[in-house]
A and B are shown apart, each in its own frame.
Chain A
Amino acid sequence: MLLVVILGVHLWLANFGQASSSLRAVLGVVLLGLALFHGLNGVRTVIFDFNIGAQGHKFTTMLLLLLGVVSLLFGMYGLWPLIVGG
């Protein structure tokens, strides 16, 4: 629910651009974190449906967690000019 609301604000700001840099930075980081968690958790659920066993569950979770952290850091790097107030 929160993701849909923040995504709506994100699309609105992308088109009409009426917000301070700090608000955009906070929204950007929150949206990035929520989208990555929701998306990668969804991928995890789809993979789990293929009966991959307990070891497979652990491996998939760790791999997706790593991918999520790397993507989050990379995305925050992209948002850096906003975060530092550019």
Chain B
Amino acid sequence: MTRRIARLFGRGGDLNPRNMRLGVWAWLIQRISGLVLVVFVVAHVVAISQASLVTKGPLFTLLDGLRNPFWYVDRTALAVDLLMLGIIAFHGMNGIRIVLFDTGIGVGLRSHKVIFWIVIAIAVVASGLVIYYGLPMLGGT
């Protein structure tokens, strides 16, 4: 297994899991989550626009129609939405960390790690607040 990984990524390769440190993991997850979010944004736009195609009336009425299937009836869709919320929170907060890094804040190795865990904590708290306040209002339990 170790030999196979070394052959795939190179023994000293940056993407060899044995060599990967926190910063490389953050970079890799940022890229993968970004690609996932592009698909999600397009799917989100299509879902809202489909509602406009089949129902006439104010957008709030259309969104009400979307709320139940997305948040309550279909548990799988709810799980996907919650997963997307987590991915969005991670991607957004890690993006802010990268901007801070680019502007010279948190450049040292230690502060780099500290800021990473601070932004992750903010992402977890923000996701928790959205779930805590948002979910009961949307019919979930």
Contacts and interface: CB of A to CB of B under 8 A. Distances in A.
Interface of A: 1, 3-4, 7-8, 11, 14-17, 21, 24, 32, 35-36, 39-40, 42-43, 46, 71, 74-75, 77-82, 86
Interface stretch (B2-10, B15-23, B42-50, B108-116): B42-50
B55 to A, nearest CB: 10
Nearest to A46: B31
B52 A43 contact: no
Give the interface SS of chain B, mostly helix, strand, loop or mixed: helix
A41 B42 CA distance: 14
Q: Nearest 9 CB-CB pairs, A to B?
A: A78-B49, A15-B134, A78-B48, A39-B38, A75-B45, A81-B59, A86-B58, A4-B92, A42-B34
A15 B34 contact: no
A81 B51 CA distance: 11
Give the interface SS of chain A, mostly helix, strand, loop or mixed: helix
B37 to A, nearest CB: 6
Given A81-B58, A81-B62, 19 more contacts: A1-B96, A4-B95, A11-B130, A11-B134, A15-B130, A17-B60, A32-B45, A35-B41, A39-B41, A42-B34, A46-B35, A75-B49, A77-B52, A78-B52, A79-B48, A79-B59, A80-B52, A81-B59, A82-B59
